[in-house]
Structure 1
Amino acid sequence: MKVLFLSQIVPYPPHGGVLQRGYNLVRELGREARVHLLAFVHPDVLPTEAACCESRAALEKFCEAVEYFPLWPKASPLHRVAGLAVGALSPRPFSVLAHRSAAFHRRVSELIATKNFDVIHVDTIALARFLDKRWSIPAVLTHHNIESQLMERRAGAERGLLARLYLRRETQKLLAYEAKMSGSFDVNVFVSKTDEKTLLERVPGLRTAIVPNGVDVEYFTPNQGKDMPALIYTGGMNMFANRDAVMFFLNEIWPLIRKQVPDVRFFAVGQDPPKELLDLAARDPHVVVTGYVTDVRPLVCDASVYVVPLRVGGGTRLKVLDAMAMGKAMVSTSIGCEGLDVRPDEHLLVADSPEQFAEKTVRLLQDPGRRLTLGRTARELVERRYSWRTIGGQLLEAYRIAIENRRQAR
């Protein structure tokens, strides 16, 4: 099978979120298919030519061709401001405008005209504009989350009036764009049944498949660490959802935990920590802000409990699967574990109010046996359901469904 894979970001290095999913799916596809990858370069992920060359060498192990394109809003701070300004005036969502590229569009057209692809993989709805319904090649659209829902939740968590109004308008634009574009694909791929149900309610009649997020069960493994009285959360602070989660935890949950476990520490792990987080850590020696780390496993291994205080999000969280694969006991909000096939009190504990979250976290800190049991059942679940080898096969099956759907429509 020949696959044209269109990605909103170069899927390397595979450190969290969309990078992790993209890298592992491309790797698994490379075992069975010939993959031609077109991707946008994010300079905050690949800041140098050397980093780009390293990523290209890594991805060419699985792809027959790899091509990169610049993402114009990230060319400079001025470009980003201009992008936001244009987004405020345009009827199209900002994410669609951010990926405007004549060179990318031209290359997609050239490849479709000259190469005999079996399927086109569009890895986010923001890239849907590059496909023309007239093309005869079956096309699959991945929804890492429901973008309109994600934006709506972010608007609800935003404190500033102007930002909240901007995000609400983006929500409406995304709702319209999802309704317009999703139906033109042979299969819409979702990472969870929850997301599938949400979009089907808004756009009835879509042809769908579930290809969940996964975890490298050979890389993330249970290991005996220090098991010190410590809590940990991992996630790049350049993402609003992670910044909001950490600050919500520290402002509303952390004081309740410290009252009962005074010697506990909290590790906030992820790139670009905001000033308010750094200032808080400077006042509280029990809060450790690491910034970006190349390997989160030693830190996760040493912590007693992995906390997921997310209030904003969509899809499923790969960080949750990584921690489960490491056999960590976990306390999560409902949104934090949304879309995963987990059962509360068997694979993790779930709490949404600050009081409940603190109470359940303290309970785990004080009960090593309970931590061990939760971690063991979590690991068993990811081995059974969420290994990338299994999920790569599910994506190939979604491609076959798309090809059959197009054949039947002729």
Structure 2
Amino acid sequence: MRILWILPYSPWPATSGGKTRQFHLLRSLAARGHQITLLLHDKHPVTPADRQVLEAFLEQLIVLPRRPLRSVKTLLAGLFAPYPLLASVNGLSGELQDTFEWLLGEQWDVVQIEHSYTFQPYEDALARNAQPFVLTEHNVESALGAATYDRLPRWALPFIRYDQWRYARWERRVMRQATQVVAVTESDAEVLEKIAGKRVPVVVNGVDCDHFAKARPDPASRRVLFLGNYEYAPNVDAIEWALDEILPKVWARCPDARMSVCGFGMPASWRTRWPDPRIEWQGFVPDLLALQSSSSVFLAPLRHGGGSKLKVLEALAAGLPLASTAQGVSGLDLVEGLDYLGGQTATALADAVVRLLQFPEAAAPMGEAGRAYVRRAHDWSVAASQLEQVYASLAPVKHKEPACV
């Protein structure tokens, strides 16, 4: 198939769960013979080295810059446009609209758009050309804003309510136009089906299981690991909660435990805010195998978010025993007490971490059960096959007749 795939960020380097999903699905589909043109509308420039990685498996890569977040256009649209703030930030680009219109002059078997908040520049051209398209929604965005909105001042509450109302309307508007909406978890699919008014299949998040099978967690290290992209508010909330409330309770019983914090976008101020020498500030780690093999436990203290968490899937694939909230394992078919230890409060999560540290003979089988589950249900080959099934369910595209000369 010829696929036009549209993203609001570059999938490489894979500094977040969403980027990791995009990179591996694109590469897996290309390996199966599909020809993919990738249209990026990115706030960051794509370096020559990163472009080379992507062009190795793409038919074509088109990158258009996104205007700065604090532009006058974005500010005015955020206040007055009918679109929610995220759609204004990622849309209202004449260059993007023109490029997309030009691309629709070609024949595509599939047009795939990621995230409802990216849709605005493509809406008119899709309608004019009667072009079917697939929309993948990684979360139920209208229900996701708690971690972001909670950080705004109280005087902004009227705007928050207004923007949530706009997003609910926008979500319905976009999904009703999509030929097919795709979710990443069954629970999200149930919600999105009510919004879209149609069946919503699932394409799961995945893991390169062969790669992470090389990891061998070390129970003697007493290292607790957390990973996240800190441009994403639910991850910021999680690590703040962990370091303010959970780890002090762990250290009261396991004073030699260490907390390793890694991921993209880590604020420099955190080192001053939490100066405890037992906290290891790793930053972005391109290859996690060595760090996973020198860790004892993965902690997922997530209270907000949606979908399934790639960071958790990768930890499970590496055989790391897991302590998690219900949100941390959302969308995963895991059994608490067998595949992981759960907790919804700081005390309960601290208890889970301490148990995993103090009883490695019980933690190790739990880690291996998680590894087996991920290989069975969440290898990237599983996700790519699910997506191909979605494509196969679409009506065949009628190829345009060449113009007479």
Q: When the two structures are superposed, what TM-score results if normalisation uses the length of structure 1?
A: 0.90
For the 8 Å contact 1:7–1:39, the answer to whether it is kept is: yes
Alpha-carbon shift at residue 39 of structure 1 (Å)? 0.7
1:148 aligns with 2:149: no
Q: Percent identity?
A: 28
Paired AA for residue 70 in structure 1: P
What SS does structure 2 have at the residue aligned with 1:66? strand
For the 8 Å contact 1:281–1:289, the answer to whether it is kept is: no
- Deviation string for 1:358-405 (max 9, x for gaps)? 11111111111122111101111111111111211111111122336x
Counterpart CA distance in 2 for 1:139 and 1:82 is: 28
1:90 aligns with 2:85: no
For the 8 Å contact 1:243–1:274, the answer to whether it is kept is: no
Q: How does 1:1-400 map to 2 (within 5 A)?
A: 1-30=1-30, 31-43=32-44, 46=45, 52-74=47-69, 78-79=70-71, 83-84=74-75, 86-100=77-91, 101-113=93-105, 115-129=106-120, 130-131=122-123, 132-152=126-146, 154-155=148-149, 157-158=150-151, 160-162=153-155, 165-201=158-194, 203=195, 205-227=197-219, 228-274=221-267, 277-282=270-275, 284-400=276-392
Paired AA for residue 138 in structure 1: P
- Deviation string for 1:212-265 (max 9, x for gaps)? 110111222243354311211001222211111000111121111111111111
- Deviation string for 1:276-305 (max 9, x for gaps)? 5222332x1111222222223322221111
Counterpart CA distance in 2 for 1:245 and 1:231 is: 14
For the 8 Å contact 1:306–1:330, the answer to whether it is kept is: yes
For the 8 Å contact 1:308–1:330, the answer to whether it is kept is: yes
For the 8 Å contact 2:215–2:292, the answer to whether it is kept is: no
Alpha-carbon shift at residue 189 of structure 1 (Å)? 0.4
Deviating more after overlay: 213-222 vs 373-382: 213-222
- Deviation string for 1:106-125 (max 9, x for gaps)? 11111112x11111000111
Q: Cα gap change, 1:111/1:272 in structure 2, threshold over 3 Å: closer, same or farther?
A: closer
Alpha-carbon shift at residue 332 of structure 1 (Å)? 0.8
Deviating more after overlay: 120-129 vs 133-142: 133-142
Q: Cα gap change, 1:175/1:322 in structure 2, threshold over 3 Å: closer, same or farther?
A: same
Q: Cα gap change, 1:162/1:277 in structure 2, threshold over 3 Å: closer, same or farther?
A: farther
Counterpart CA distance in 1 for 2:41 and 2:159 is: 25
Gaps of 5+ in 2: 399-405
Counterpart CA distance in 2 for 1:147 and 1:137 is: 24
Q: How many residues align?
A: 392
Alpha-carbon shift at residue 150 of structure 1 (Å)? 0.8
What SS does structure 1 have at the residue aligned with 2:282? strand
Paired AA for residue 42 in structure 2: V
Counterpart CA distance in 2 for 1:84 and 1:319 is: 33
- Deviation string for 1:129-152 (max 9, x for gaps)? 203234333210000111111114
Alpha-carbon shift at residue 186 of structure 1 (Å)? 1.1
Q: When the two structures are superposed, what TM-score results if normalisation uses the length of structure 2?
A: 0.91
Paired AA for residue 113 in structure 2: V
Counterpart CA distance in 1 for 2:157 and 2:249 is: 29
For the 8 Å contact 2:296–2:320, the answer to whether it is kept is: yes
Alpha-carbon shift at residue 83 of structure 1 (Å)? 3.0
Alpha-carbon shift at residue 275 of structure 1 (Å)? 5.3
**Correspondence for 2:402:** none
Deviating more after overlay: 93-102 vs 367-376: 93-102
For the 8 Å contact 2:15–2:264, the answer to whether it is kept is: no
Counterpart CA distance in 1 for 2:223 and 2:346 is: 18
What SS does structure 2 have at the residue aligned with 1:25? helix
What SS does structure 2 have at the residue aligned with 1:158? coil
Alpha-carbon shift at residue 14 of structure 1 (Å)? 2.3
Alpha-carbon shift at residue 208 of structure 1 (Å)? 1.6
For the 8 Å contact 1:158–1:164, the answer to whether it is kept is: no
